[in-house]
Amino acid sequence: MESSCTMQAVFLHLLLLFGNIDATDDERKRYDGYRLYKVFVPDDESLELLTNMQDDDGYHLWLRPMINGTADVMISPARIQEFMQKVNTTKLEPELMMDNVQKYIDDENPRGNVRGAFDWLGYHRLNTIYSWLDSLVTQHPEIVKPIIGGSSYEGRRIKGVKLSYKEGNPGIFIEGGIHAREWISPAVVTYILNELILSDDSRVRYMAESYDWYIFPVFNPDGYEYTHTTNRLWRKTRRPTGRGCYGADPNRNWNFHWAEGGVSRNPCSEIYPGDKPFSETETRTMSQYIDSIQTKIFSYVAFHSYSQLLLIPYGHSNKRVSNYDDLFQIGNYSINALSQRYGTRYKVGNIVDIIYVASGGSMDWVRGTYNIPVTYTYELRDKGRYGFILPASQIIPTAKETLDSLVAMFEQAAKLGYGSSMTAQFRL
């Protein structure tokens, strides 16, 4: 007994010692012993219990609760017992998805730091993505033009490209990486860009050459870098916002029904919308860029993860946009095409109807401000097995099925008269 206590003390001492070395050497946030639970939300009482956890230290809602749906909650080791007690008094039945989140982070991206090489076998740093965009411009100068669309709080550029085979094609805007930790988004967006240039599939070629593409893989470069260097699960921008906290949710910060719902005024919250619309350099500068090309685009498509959903505006109310029926039908074709390759199932619908109220998103601003008719937000794979930590081995399959869905989306949109020419139906 005594000797085991001594052993424990020595071990604790070593732990502290190494802990200290670790902290000075490497400031990375670790998730050792954090657990991820999926919880079914049967009633208002459970909804309230889970919603109140939102801003508590030690509770992290990966997927916010919806009634008759599920919530995904990550819990720090110190809170696990308390959580189990809380749910024991309710009808909640948490299902353990990850017993050690750090292990999933460690295993996610084995090929991500192969120096210099850009591919879709790993998730890459911002500079690698940007160098690859530069190389496209160099290799295909007649069709690929560089764009600096905006900038970030820490002074990074928000880089994109315009891909155009024919002057005056109707334009499609592709947004990736606005939420820092959703790594699959920039990976899928870059894959799609590459296929638009190199694919020899006739339907992909027809789509590529019938539209002008404005493609920005990483809307939130500061946050994206931070997820690589410091905290894998960072979501927001990196501006100091008060109470010692950083960042606003860049997809709650756009100036359309700003902060009307699905936000928290606590600057430490992951859904803090900023202190005013466009408080963030990233959204403000990108909104100015979008304003400068708004007459050239008929479609805006944003890529997030996760949940396997195709979302139609708006997020502040369940009032339907004027062409909701068209968007539903196009979306329905799109998700059916997506399911063909690997059987991946999506749902399509209005944001409020199929997830929850979430105001101030980029898609809603584009739709509400300019009446851009074909606007969607993808929530890519998966449904919470890996959540934000989707293994890099799933990049290519996710990207392939998503490209399938995009082809179907714009084929069906064209059948309904959207973007088929610069005339009448180009805008509603």
Q: At closest approach, how far in Å is the CB of 363 from ligand NAG? A: 21
Question: Nearer to ligand NAG by C-beta: 310 or 389?
Answer: 310
Establish how many alpha carbons lie within 13 A of residue 329's alpha carbon, considering only the half-sphere containing its beta carbon.
11
- Locate 132 and state its tokens: 């690859």
Provide the residue count of the chain.
Answer: 428
CB atoms within 10 A of CB 132: 17
Residue from the set 38, 304, 367, 381 that interacts with Zn ion by CB under 5 A? 304
d(CA 282, CA 239): 10
Residue 304 partner contact from ligand NAG, Zn ion, none using kind-dependent CB cut-offs of 5 to 8 Å: Zn ion
Out of 7, 9, 17, 67, the only residue in the binding site for ligand NAG (CB under 6 A) is 67
Cβ closer to ligand NAG: 84 or 117? 84
404 vs 113: CA distance, rounded Å: 29
Binding residues among 178-197 for Zn ion as defined by CB under 5 A: 179
Rounded to whole angstroms, the Cα distance separating 74 from 53 reads 11
- Please answer whether residues 282 and 176 qualify as being in contact, where contact means their C-beta atoms are separated by less than 8 angstroms: no
**Looking at 60-68, 163-171, 280-288, 298-306, which segment touches Zn ion (CB under 5 A)?**
298-306
Note if the bond before 134 is cis, omega within 30 degrees.
no
- Residue 320, judged by CB atoms within 10 A of its CB (0-12, 13-18, 19+), counts as middle
- Torsion angle in degrees (nearest 10) through CA of 276, 277, 280, 286: -170
The DSSP element (H or E) to which 135 belongs, if any, is helix 126-139
What is the phi-psi region of residue 151: left when phi exceeds 0, alpha when psi lies from -120 to 50, beta otherwise?
beta
Cα 82 from chain centre? 30
Binding partner at 394 among Zn ion, ligand NAG, none, C-beta below 5 to 8 Å by kind: none
| Torsion sign (Cα): 325, 329, 335, 339 | positive
Token digits for 55? 């801003």
Question: Residues 209-228: x/- map of binding to ligand NAG (CB under 6 A)?
Answer: --------------------
What is the smallest separation between the CB atom of 34 and ligand NAG, expressed in angstroms?
A: 18
Query: Is 154 a known active-site residue?
Result: no
Interface with ligand NAG in residues 310-339 (CB under 6 A): 328-329, 332, 336
- Which among 48, 52, 49, 34 has a CA at the least distance from the CA of 97? 34
Query: Which of 21, 84, 114, 117 is close enough to bind ligand NAG by CB under 6 A?
Result: 84
- Which of the stretches 136-144, 299-307, 360-368, 387-395 binds Zn ion when contact is defined by CB under 5 A? 299-307
Partners of 302 in beta bridges: 175, 377
| Min separation Cβ 75 and ligand NAG, Å | 13
By CB under 6 A, is residue 96 in contact with ligand NAG?
Answer: no
**Site mask for Zn ion (CB under 5 A), range 131-170, x = bound:** ----------------------------------------
Compute the least distance from the CB of residue 46 to ligand NAG, in Å.
12
Q: Which is nearer to Zn ion, 257 or 304 (CB)?
A: 304
How far is residue 400's CA from residue 349's CA, in Å, rounded to a whole number? Answer: 22
Q: How far apart are the first and last CA of the chain?
A: 79
Residue range at the interface with Zn ion (CB under 5 A); choices 35-43, 55-63, 222-230, 304-312:
304-312
Choice from 68, 138, 202, 423 touching ligand NAG (CB under 6 A): 68
Binding-site size, ligand NAG (CB under 6 A): 9
Give the one entry of ligand NAG, Zn ion, none that residue 10 binds, where binding means its C-beta sits below a cut-off of 5 to 8 angstroms depending on kind: none
- The listed partner (Zn ion, ligand NAG, none) that binds 68, CB under 5 to 8 Å by sort, is ligand NAG
| Partner touching 24 among Zn ion, ligand NAG, none, CB below 5 to 8 Å by kind | none
Owner of token pair 């160098």 = 131
Residue 84 touches which of Zn ion, ligand NAG, none (Cβ within 5-8 Å per kind) = ligand NAG
The active-site residue, picked from 175, 182, 379, 401, is: 379
Contact of residue 179 among Zn ion, ligand NAG, none (CB under 5-8 Å per partner type): Zn ion
DSSP assignment string, 220-231: -HHHHHHHHHT-
> Smallest Cα–Cα separation from 153: which of 231, 229, 236?
236
Binding site for ligand NAG (CB under 6 A): 67-68, 84-85, 88, 328-329, 332, 336
* Residues with active-site annotation: 379
